[in-house]
Amino acid sequence: MPATSCDMPQTPAGSAVDPHRADRPWILLGGAGAVVALLATMAPSLAWEHYGDDGGELTVAVATLGVPHPSGYPFYVLVGHLFCRLFGWLGEPAFCTNLLSVAAGGATAAAAVALSLVVNRRFELALPPWAVTILATLGTLGTTFWSQAVITEVYVLHAALTLWTVALVAWWHEAVREGRPAGFWLWGAGLVWGLALGVHLTAGFIAGGLALLVLATDKTIWRRRVFWAAALTCLGAVVLLYGWLPLLARRNAPVNWGYIRSWSDLVDHVTGAQYRYRMFVFTGRDLAERFRNLFLPLLARQWGQGSLGLLALGLAWSLWACTWGGTPASRAYARRLGATWLLLWTPSAFYSLNYNIDDLPPYFTTTFVFLGLLFPVAAGAVSRLLSRWNRQGGDRLVVVGLACLIPLVGVGRQVDRLSLRHHRTAREFGRQAFAVMPPGSLVVSDYDGRTNALLYERWLGEGRESGTVIVLRTMLAKRWYRDHLRDLYSGVAIPEPAPGFAGAAWDPLCDHLAERILRDNAARPRFLVRDTLPFARQWRLVPAAGIYRVEERRRDDEGPPRRGRFRAVDLVPFANADYRGDPFLPGLRTDDVNHFPSLGEGEIGSGTGGVPFWLPAPWARSGRPSVITTCYTADFQVRIPLLATATVALHLAVAGGVSRQASGPLAFVQPWYEDGPGEAFPLTGLPDYREAREAALRFLRLPLDPGRRPLTVEIRSGGAVTPEPFVPGVAVFAMTQELPASLGDASDR
């Protein structure tokens, strides 16, 4: 750790004074405070938020003793399984694994307090223990750490064990310098480090910092029995934990990544062979850009803008203590421990910056915990500076208290954004999907989050007796995955690639095998999670509860359906945008990320109203736009023919586009009858799609005069304005004409 003092206190050799006993209440207080804060904001069930897509997979692996994705996380699986056994009476498995993250968050805060109290003594920061406890705990509870501590993920347990490894070595370091018995702390550090490596192999990145701290304490430590005991304990823990994975793999639990059957399978899985193409792929210029554009903004959000000044003060004082402050001996001591602190987090941060992955922020969880240790250093710097000016002790305490308020306010402002106590989106997705799937269904899934939510519901939720088969399309290119599916789902045809696909690229091979699986298991009800292009061309995809039912195409599928008195209106001939690209921008941008991925060709319902809407095939399949939009253009107008018969109402499925802070109507919808125009309905008050949840359509009912025969309906720009440099408007996805009940064809109902 960086230093802030000139004179290093020395306790006489052989002293029996053990300051750790006095530290224990403060360590427990810091851990308990973190647990209370995290528990109040913990997700009650499975969560996708905060990069939690892997939560379903991890929970299923934990509850069934399976093998999750590389590196397998064996100690996380073991501890998580114990939590499910011990606390299963409190809630579902996802609640228990979320609770594990909360407990690990408390353990991390406790380790930060323990480490900071050592630093406070070794460098005479003159901080009262309560201030150290507050600052160290707040330094732990940054945005990234908090976000991972309220969901099911491995990063917080990894951070807890990593920080406790360092704290135990620091206790050993302090005990050796003060002449107290110390061997137990070093052995304990070896054990905890081995467990940390059993959670995530990136715990190995602290090796340089640990080695420097150990050698700075005792240059001949390698000659001592306690060193080898600690080293062998660490190695033994790692070997036992990862050696457990092949035994778990033999059970073929629902989650069985790698399908480990040989030594090479184990090595590939533990070392993340399938992810190596993502590692260390950036040039120096790329790294500089990622540091500027990713790391620095993420750092600025951790504890609020004001806390950055406190971190800078702690770093500046540490540099002063290493270069100009104190005596030559104290400066040398400060340099050794300052270099230790740098080596504890910079290798991991460098690796994370070099890792080409979308969910990058969680990889910096431990990095920011180490940076948060600067808060007590900064407060100690202020306290020592005031003491040089002979200020009263009360004045120093006031200033230290104000220093504690800076990160407290910054962290407090982020609680609402980080809290997931009411979030049940992922679990509800799984429940709704299983509610529409008959027993024995086959689901070909995309997206990690949705796949894992379905796995959770299938094996731990309401689908346990359903016999549903869940196939992750994007992993079908792996032979081990196909073997795993065959063992897991007996009676399901899982083919091998056709000869012509032997050297195919990853995505075409996955599509080919998924298509074969859908065809070879046609006797089962079949579903897709994503309206993937190759399948949508061959089957009719009917949206159902956020997934798609696969149906064979028929010749009479062409054109909008007619159901009872409801007649779908075909918008395709008049559409000017596409919901598979950007439904709010006239023209076609199919390279964009899908704004409404839950929409696909077929029929959707209006929720409680039950009005059927027909969605045409998107441009990506049909070659024609599918959505009418009034966004981005101030002068749009189109007339759409209606069935020329008495009509009760028009129903619209719409979404607001670029409507944030819009004043005025986003669009006008006006019916035209045989005898002239009808009333123009303004569309107002629609939420901006950028604030709406995925596929959050609004269903509007516009009453028509049943005594007049409509001919067309006109949709035109509304003239709304917004502070943004865009023309606000709407996207009309579908339209349904409602006839009087007496005119409905009973055969269609």
* Distance in angstroms (rounded) separating the CA atoms of residues 625 and 580: 9
Tokens for 532, please give them.
Answer: 């993937």
| pLDDT over threshold 70, residue 2 | no
Give the H/E segment covering residue 547.
strand 547-552
| pLDDT over threshold 60, residue 645 | yes
Give 721's Cβ-side CA count (13 Å radius). 1
Looking at the DSSP bridge assignments, the partners of residue 470 are: 443
* Distance in angstroms (rounded) separating the CA atoms of residues 223 and 221: 5
* Distance in angstroms (rounded) separating the CA atoms of residues 731 and 625: 12
Provide the pLDDT for residue 11: 45
Tokens for 174, please give them.
Answer: 């302090």
CB 148 within 8 A of CB 35: no
| Most confident listed range (278-282, 562-566, 712-716) | 712-716
What pLDDT band is residue 19 in, cutting at 50, 70 and 90?
confident
Provide the pLDDT for residue 8: 45
* Distance in angstroms (rounded) separating the CA atoms of residues 170 and 158: 18
* Distance in angstroms (rounded) separating the CA atoms of residues 260 and 246: 6
* Average pLDDT score, the chain: 89
Buried b (16+ CB within 10 A) or exposed e, 674-696: eeeebeebebbebebbeebeebe
Pairing mode of beta strands 698-703, 628-629: unpaired
Residue 459: what residue type? W
CB atoms within 10 A of CB 329: 11
* Distance in angstroms (rounded) separating the CA atoms of residues 649 and 705: 8
* Distance in angstroms (rounded) separating the CA atoms of residues 310 and 674: 73
Q: Average pLDDT for residues 730-741, to the nearest whole number?
A: 93
Q: Which residue has the tokens 């192999």?
A: 201
| pLDDT over threshold 80, residue 416 | yes
C-alpha angle with apex 62: 61 to 64, nearest 5 degrees? 65
Reference 241, options 79, 398, 51, 404; nearest CA is 79
Tokens for 325, please give them.
Answer: 């402050």
Q: Which residue has the tokens 């106590």?
A: 421
- CATH 2.60.120 for the 562-748 domain, yes or no: yes
Q: In whole angstroms, what separates CA 198 from the centre of its chain?
A: 22
Looking at the DSSP bridge assignments, the partners of residue 562 are: 567
Provide the pLDDT for residue 670: 96
- Express each pLDDT in 277-336 by its tens digit: 888 889 999 999 999 999 999 999 999 888 999 999 999 999 998 988 878 888 999 999
Provide the pLDDT for residue 198: 97
Q: Which residues contact 334 (CB under 8 A, 6 or more apart)?
A: 2, 3, 5, 123, 318, 321, 322, 325, 326
What pLDDT band is residue 9 in, cutting at 50, 70 and 90?
very low
Q: Which residues contact 136 (CB under 8 A, 6 or more apart)?
A: 30, 109, 112, 113, 115, 116, 117, 372, 373, 375, 376
Tokens for 698, please give them.
Answer: 């609004």
3-state secondary structure at position 710: strand
Give 446's Cβ-side CA count (13 Å radius). 16
Reference 647, options 709, 605, 585; nearest CA is 709
To the nearest whole percent, how much of the chain has pLDDT over 90? 66
Provide the pLDDT for residue 393: 59
* Distance in angstroms (rounded) separating the CA atoms of residues 449 and 471: 14
Provide the pLDDT for residue 7: 42
| Most confident listed range (29-43, 118-132, 303-317, 521-535) | 29-43
Query: Does residue 440 come out as left (phi exceeding 0), alpha (psi in the -120 to 50 range) or beta?
Result: left
Sign of CA dihedral 428, 433, 439, 445: negative
> In terms of pLDDT, which residue wins out, 389 or 101?
101
What pLDDT band is residue 749 in, cutting at 50, 70 and 90?
very low
| Whether residue 466 has a cis bond before it, omega within 30° of 0 | no
| pLDDT over threshold 60, residue 731 | yes
| pLDDT over threshold 90, residue 540 | no
Q: Average pLDDT for residues 59-64, to the nearest whole number?
A: 97
| pLDDT over threshold 50, residue 257 | yes
3-state secondary structure at position 635: coil
| Most confident listed range (79-83, 288-292, 536-540, 655-659) | 79-83
Q: Average pLDDT for residues 671-699, to the nearest whole number?
A: 84
Residue 683: what residue type? L
3-state secondary structure at position 116: helix
CB 47 within 8 A of CB 423: yes
Provide the pLDDT for residue 12: 45
Give the H/E segment covering residue 400.
helix 393-412
> In terms of pLDDT, which residue wins out, 19 or 371?
371
| pLDDT over threshold 70, residue 51 | yes
**DSSP 8-state symbol, 9:** P
Tokens for 255, please give them.
Answer: 């989650």
* Distance in angstroms (rounded) separating the CA atoms of residues 275 and 252: 22
3-state secondary structure at position 609: helix
To the nearest whole percent, how much of the chain has pLDDT over 70? 92
Sign of CA dihedral 722, 726, 727, 730: negative
Q: Which residue has the tokens 């500089």?
A: 288
Q: Average pLDDT for residues 627-634, to the nearest whole number?
A: 90
- DSSP per position, 225-267: HHHHHHHHHHHHHHHHHHHTHHHHHHH--S-BGGG--SHHHHH
- Express each pLDDT in 170-207 by its tens digit: 999 999 988 888 889 999 999 999 999 999 999 999 99
